[in-house]
Amino acid sequence: MWVLRQYGAPAILAICLHVVAFLGLQTVWSPEYREFTVPKAEIVTSQLLVLEHTKVPRPPIPEPKKNLAPKSPTIQPRSLDDSETKKDSLAKTENSSFPSEVSAFDTEPEMPELDDFARTSFAEALEQEISAVRQDKITKEVEEIAAGFRYGIYKKVVANWSRPPSARNGMVAKLLVELIPTGEVLGVTVLEGSDNIAFNQSAEAAVRKSRRFEVPQQPRIFEAHFRRFTLLFKPEDLIY
Amino acid sequence: MPEQLSIVELILNASLVVQVVMASLGLASIISWGMIFQRWFYLRSVVASVDEFEDHFWSGIDLQKFAKELEERVELTGIEQIFVAGFREFRRLSDQSGAEPESIMHGAQRAMRVALTREEEQLETHLPFLATVGSTSPYVGLFGTVWGIMNSFRSLANMSQATLASVAPGISEALVATAMGLFAAIPAVIAFNRFSSRVDVVIKRYEAFSDELTTILYRAAHSRGQNK
């Protein structure tokens, strides 16, 4: 009873004070949310556009083929003795005294033939084009993968780089980096450095310090892009 | 980091040791504030009672009657107890026949001194606790912080890429412990200094009063001796 009278009010006051302090801190404490924009490498490819371009000429070709639809079965055998019929038709067309009806009749089968020739050549070309594009696409994909890994390598080198006091913006060091398939650094040499020796050495040391880079698992890509590659070390883009 | 670090999250995400430290600091803070309030009310009432008593005492009333009045009361404030103890002892000794005035005075003084010591003890309760909280809780908070930072750096060592974002929450978490330690310590230190000086003032007044009462009783004892 005595204890309650002596300590009841102080205890309630103390607890109230702490609750108020806590709630106040909770509401006041809102660290402003700042967004840090860090530039990221974005690889943009325009392959799709190229493919569309090659496909565009295709639709006009099948249209004449529709007109000659009944004769299309004859196209195949005729294309075998291509040269003879060609001569015939040429001779026929030379004789301009022929009635226009005949000539009209005769020249008619010739048309699909030429067209066929053009078409086959066009199809071949198209196929070649497509395969070339596909090849191109594959190489571009490889390029893209390689670029991604190269960016990672560059970032790691930059992270390991300790800036010498004499380093200035605009200094460039071209390094030849040799890796083994696990990504470990085999050797680094400075191909072209800046005038500043300390800078060149720091760039070289940064690569050595990285020890191991992430490299693609596919041996083909690795051989093509990462066995020996040049790394252009330009620290001016360090200052985000 | 899009997520916002509220203080509750910081406390909940902390490691166990840091949480224990924070909990003990929070408890210490609540208890010390409770004691601060209790001492505050108590000392205020004590000072008020001393003022009131002295006004009453020096208003020229009959001491015999006043003492009897006080003795009938259930609860007595500090200064009243000193007065009652001294006066009762004086009366008891002077009622005995053949008591020397010197021995009567010695007895009364001793009784007053005992009462004074008891009152001092009453006034100074909880002050050592406040002193302890004030001096140790910053260290306890610091311990929590050091532990938290230690852990966050240790976890940083396991990461391949060290970023500020991976250590910052841990450090922020750990620093809450220091903040809590200071939050508990600062009021405790201020309250301790203030209350101990006030207690000193009150004790001085008690002593002054007991000296004054001694002179009054001394006069009474000697006048009684001369009357005999």
Counted across chains A and B, CB pairs separated by less than 8 A come out at 46
The identity of residue B102, as a single letter, is: E
Q: Chunk chain B into consecutive blocks of 10 residues (it has 228) and report each block's average pLDDT, rounded to whole numbers.
A: 63 86 93 93 92 88 83 83 88 81 87 92 91 94 92 79 75 88 94 94 92 88 70
B2 occurs within a structural domain? no
Diameter of chain A measured on Cα atoms:
139
Under an 8 A CB cutoff, do A14 and B34 touch? yes
A209 interaction partners in chain B (CB closer than 8 Å): none
Cβ–Cβ of A6/B30 closer than 8 Å? no
In this structure, is residue B160 part of a structural domain? yes
Is B1 inside a domain boundary?
A: no
| Contact assignment for A13 to B6 by CB distance below 8 Å | no
Domains of chain A with bracketed CATH: 42-148 (no CATH), 161-240 (3.30.1150.10)
Q: Do the Cβ atoms of A15 and B36 come within 8 Å?
A: no
The conformational region for residue B98 under phi > 0 = left, psi -120 to 50 = alpha, else beta, is: left
Mutate: best of B10, B37, B164, B183, partner A, most A CBs <10 A: B37
Classified as helix, coil or strand, A213 is coil
Helix (H) or strand (E) holding A190: strand A185-192
Interface touch B7/A13, C-beta < 8 Å:
no
Question: DSSP states of A16-30 as a string?
Answer: HHHHHHHHHHHHH--
Query: CB distance from A23 to chain B under 8 Å?
Result: no
- At A231 the pLDDT is 85
Is B80 part of any domain? yes
Contact B37 A14 (CB under 8 A): yes
The total number of structural domains that make up chain B: 1
Structure tokens at A31: 């660290």
Q: Which of B70, B116, B120 is nearest to B91 (CA)?
A: B70
What A40-47 contacts at long range (C-beta under 8 Å, 24+ apart), as own/partner pairs, is A41/A147, A41/A148, A41/A151, A43/A144, A43/A147, A43/A148, A45/A140, A45/A144, A47/A133, A47/A136, A47/A137, A47/A140
Question: By residue range, what is the domain housing residue B171?
Answer: 7-227
Give B88 to chain A, closest Cα distance, Å.
27
Q: Which of B207, B205, B200, B216 is nearest to B116 (CA)?
A: B207
Beta-bridge mates of residue A187 = A178
- Candidates B206, B213, B50; CA nearest to B116 is B206
CB pair distance less than 8 Å for B30 and A18:
yes
> Amino acid identity, residue B93?
L
Flag whether residue A159 sits within 8 Å of chain B, measured between CB atoms.
yes
- For B148, phi then psi, to 5°, come to -65, -45
Q: CA B137, CA A73: separation in Å to the nearest integer?
A: 100
Q: Residue B7: CB partners within 8 Å, gap ≥ 6?
A: A22, A25, A26, A29, B176
Structural domain includes residue B48: yes
- Measured between CA atoms, the residue of chain A closest to residue B37 is A10
- Which has the closest alpha carbon to A5: B193, B109, B45? B45
pLDDT per residue rounded down to tens, chain A (240 residues): 777 787 888 899 999 999 998 888 877 766 555 665 666 666 666 655 555 555 555 555 555 544 544 544 444 544 444 554 445 554 444 444 444 444 444 444 555 566 666 667 777 888 888 888 888 888 888 888 888 888 888 888 888 888 887 777 778 888 888 888 888 888 888 888 888 888 888 888 888 888 888 888 888 888 888 888 888 888 765 544
| ipTM rounded to 2 decimals | 0.73
Asked if A149 and A114 touch (Cβ cutoff 8 Å), the reply is no
Smallest Cα–Cα separation from A226: which of A218, A234, A238, A236?
A: A218
Q: In this structure, is residue B186 part of a structural domain?
A: yes
Q: Which pLDDT belongs to residue B140?
A: 94
Q: In the prediction, which pLDDT does A57 show?
A: 53
Q: For residue A36, what are the CA distances in angstroms to A159, B161, B177?
A: 18, 18, 28
